[in-house]
Chains A and B, each alone.
Chain A
Amino acid sequence: MKKNVPLAIVLVLGVLFAVQYFVPSRLSQRLYDTTLEWDIIISIPALAIAVDSLVRHHVVRIRQRRKGWGYSWVYLGAAAVMTAIGFSGGISEGGLFMNLFTFALAPMQSTMFAILAFYMTSAAYRAFRARSPEATVLLLSAFVVMLGLIPVGAALWRGLPGLSEWMMQVPNMASKRGITFGIGLGSAATILKIILGLERSWLGGSE
């Protein structure tokens, strides 16, 4: 029973919205709009559950003195301070909340994103080896694309930026489209499996 009810809901709504896609009438449009609104309504209690889970997790870590429990204090403190400032002082430009956002949160997030460049360089240095003819082709195309992106490339050979653009737009796109076809069919199959109730892993399995 516990599993049959969700499976029935998925089947009925799955088929209903597959049909809705092909029906442009007012009734069908209203049905679709209402579901979009439900989506927003559902996301709010889910957010509360998520915040509850986060706070509980850190409180448990502190109580059990798990490894790195001090960071949990940092987290809970930062969350409490930001919330309190937001509620008391508002979130307008120039206020304390916005200043914390601009001068603390923004640089920290940019830093995390910038770390990507370091990881990319180190990963490329370790992994890019001309081990086989295929790997050599890959390596050479990477050089063309990289040089094509920067002014030095055009200085070396005028045609390089054009060649780099062509490689990105033609062979790269061709292979991406190939993968995309597979993804499209895979998506359709996955949805079908869920709608028909064949795939029940999301319910914890069929046993």
Chain B
Amino acid sequence: MKFLIALSKIDRRVVYLLLALAVVVPMIVSFNVRFHVDRSTRDLFEAVDRIPPGGQPLMLVFDYDPQIMPELDPMATAILRHCFARGIRVVGVTTGAQGAALGERAMARAAAEHGKRIGEDYCYFGYKLFLSMIYFGENARRALPVDHYGRPFDSLPMMRGIRNYDDIPLVIDLAGSSILNSWIVYMGARYHVRLGAGVTAVMAPDFYQFLQTGQLAGQLSGMKGAAEYEQLVVERGYAPAKGLASRAMNAISASHLLLIALIVMGNVGYFAARRAKPKNPQGGA
């Protein structure tokens, strides 16, 4: 009985250690599993896949900072691989100062893998105020006069003919904060921009309502969303192998199982303790 009761009183440091092992071990010993793809992920993938290659560009917004980079960077990479493999042009931008370096790295890496040229196949505008992105709805050229590297808008061949959001078939905002709400309210409602999203797992339930109302064309939720997107990219033949998110999914699976086990143990201990309590002397059967 004592052992059972002890199950509900494991020291928090032991819990931390168990979790660390559950995360680290599966990252080292990697195994490949196939998983269920949520409808919201599939919807976003299809929305990207429908953009005609070599035509109007997709806009990818890197609204994240280093703290949530582990969750959102794999999303950016998976989407960029999909676009570049299919020949879809991409415009990158961020409305958070700390996202500028992260976006630049993600775009440069994916472009190098696929031999894409800046200015023709992709553009990167770096950090812009959110107000500038609202203004993009009125006049793209004036909202983004120069790119991240100081080149004027008009000197970028793929940006010719881009007047405002009417010429951007899809905007995907990768965010870990309420900035996505602002994209939905300003760009979605005001300029009728077709929006997709990638958010941290913690934030994901906040945006389900926008999926239901159709204000978001699709959504990637946390590492799982990134892993699902990677799986779709591989299944459609756009990439030979899955990426980092799929490997991290093993760690996520292990940690979920650990959590379930801990909760079960806690409850076993809780009921054992309740049973072990001295019975009420007046209480008959």
Contacts and interface: CB of A to CB of B under 8 A. Distances in A.
Interface of A: 36-37, 40, 93, 98, 101-102, 105-107, 109-110, 112-114, 116-118, 121-122, 124-126, 128-131, 139, 142-143, 146-152, 154, 161-162, 165, 168-169, 172-173, 176-177
B253 to A, nearest CB: 4
B131 A40 contact: yes
B124 to A, nearest CB: 11
Contact of B101 (A98, A142, A162): A98
Contacts of B12: 122
Could you tell me the dominant secondary structure of chain B's interface residues?
helix
A168 B205 CA distance: 7
A150 B253 contact: yes
Contacts of B96: none
A129 B266 contact: yes
Interface of B: 10, 12, 15-16, 19-20, 23, 33-36, 38-39, 65-70, 98, 101, 104-105, 129, 131, 202, 205, 208-209, 212, 224, 249, 252-253, 255-260, 262-263, 266-267, 270-271
B211 to A, nearest CB: 8
Contact of B267 (A37, A109, A114, A130): A130
13 contacts: A101-B66, A105-B66, A113-B68, A121-B255, A121-B262, A125-B10, A125-B259, A130-B267, A143-B260, A150-B257, A151-B249, A168-B208, A169-B212
Contacts of B208: 168-169, 172-173
Could you tell me the dominant secondary structure of chain A's interface residues?
helix
Nearest to B11: A122
A150 B38 contact: no
Given A36-B131, A177-B209, A151 B66 contact: no
Nearest to B33: A151
Question: Which 6 A-B pairs give the minimum distances between C-beta atoms?
Answer: A106-B66, A109-B67, A161-B36, A150-B253, A113-B67, A151-B35
A150 B246 CA distance: 11
B75 to A, nearest CB: 15
Contact of B16 (A110, A122, A172): A122
A40 B131 CA distance: 9
